[in-house]
Amino acid sequence: MTISTATDLHAVAEQMTSGGRGLLAADESIPTMSQRLEAAGVTASDIARRDYRQLLLTAPGLAATVSGIILCDETFGQSLTDGRRFPEAAHELGVLPGIKVDTGTVACPGVDGALLTQGLDGLDERLESYAARGAAFAKWRAVLSVETLVPQVAEGNAAALAAYAAACQRHGIVPVVEPEVLAAGSHDLVDSARATRMILEAVFAELDRAGVDLSGIVLKPNLVTPGLDSQQVSPRTIATVTYDVLRATVPAAVTGIAFLSGGHPTHRVTAALAELNRIEDAPWHLTFSFGRALVNDALATWEGSPAHVTAAQRALLANCREAAGAAGCGC
């Protein structure tokens, strides 16, 4: 087993979230990725998924704006066309490789429509293997909705996130702790703030109970926004409300907070992130861990054609620069 000190974990969390760089979430599960490829006119296969992730990782100069890339198990074990394994290539390109270790969701007993994220079975063995193969960090996502988030759901998901985070740290891997309150729906800003606050309170109570070193985690929350089907508010309002919720729930010992994009358009989330970084004296680094907000343009441009790789990479890099600029990168 890889043994890392608390200082190592903190140093990696710092490297992941400081200087305006952030994370590229490219860890869609096989069904999700296949569906997104097919929607973009690309026939889904392991090779197509590999080619697409290769396009992302090898975008020239990606490391100027992206500190880490989150991969799923399939990609983590695949090789680029030059023969290098993805984690090895990522390290060589200056991008830390991370691995999604949750195994998806099941229905939460007793609460209609609510979900519990799974993946603790065999987690120690999997973490040992991922660490040996170069994983610097891991990710686990709890999937929550405003409508079904009651204390029982918050506590169940928070306990699993904390058990995962403690296991990661035992293996010298920085846990990205992702409690996502979904943006889908027509809820308002107040509903989103209430739900986000409830899950973050539960998460930090459980992390404390599990003895997790907060300086060696990265928190990946949603921005507090109205639902995607509701009237939107200004980036300044998103930032103010999000910051208030975070200040009330997230201890200052946490090194970095890297937001998910949640299906919002790129400009909306980068504008909110820029406003968040205008707030003085935030105790944590505030950056991005976006999936769709970074990659949607690249995927639409690529169309599975080798002739479009360069243009797709340019589209990705433009979004990464916009996000990193919002996080304070001088790039």
The residue from 28, 178, 275, 322 that is catalytic is 178
User: Hey, CA dihedral for 53, 56, 264, 16, is it positive or negative?
Assistant: positive
Query: What is the smallest separation between the CB atom of 29 and ligand 5MM, expressed in angstroms?
Result: 4
In this structure, what are the phi and psi dihedrals at residue 143, rounded to the nearest 5 degrees?
-110, 110
- Selected binder of ligand 5MM within 202, 293, 317, 327 (CB under 6 A): 293
Query: What is the smallest separation between the CB atom of 177 and ligand 5MM, expressed in angstroms?
Result: 12
What are the angstrom distances between the C-alpha of 283 and each of 19, 24, 147, 214, 250?
14, 23, 31, 13, 10
Contact window for ligand 5MM (CB under 6 A) among 48-56, 107-115, 243-251, 286-294: 286-294
CB-nearer residue toward ligand 5MM: 117 or 313:
117
Task: Find the DSSP H helices in the chain.
Answer: 6-17, 30-39, 46-57, 73-76, 86-92, 123-132, 151-170, 189-209, 235-249, 266-278, 292-302, 309-326
Which x/- pattern over 183-202 shows residues binding ligand 5MM (rule: CB under 6 A)? Answer: --------------------
- Our answer to whether residue 100 is catalytic in this structure is no
- By CB under 6 A, the residues from 208 to 247 that bind ligand 5MM are none
Q: Is 27 in the site for ligand 5MM (CB under 6 A)?
A: yes
Rounded (5°) CA angle 88-37-65: 45
The residue among 124, 161, 173 whose CA lies nearest residue 6 is 173
Determine the Cα–Cα distance for residues 324 and 20; give it in Å rounded to an integer.
5
CB-nearer residue toward ligand 5MM: 4 or 66:
66
- Selected binder of ligand 5MM within 114, 291, 299, 313 (CB under 6 A): 291
The residue from 14, 100, 180, 220 that is catalytic is 220
Tokens found for residue 82 = 């030059």
- Selected binder of ligand 5MM within 17, 54, 75, 261 (CB under 6 A): 261
Contact between 303 and 41 (Cβ < 8 Å): yes
Contact between 245 and 196 (Cβ < 8 Å): yes
Q: Is 129 in the site for ligand 5MM (CB under 6 A)?
A: no
Query: Any idea which residues carry the catalytic annotation?
Result: 178, 220
**Contact residues for ligand 5MM (CB under 6 A)?**
25, 27-29, 32, 141, 180, 260-262, 290-293
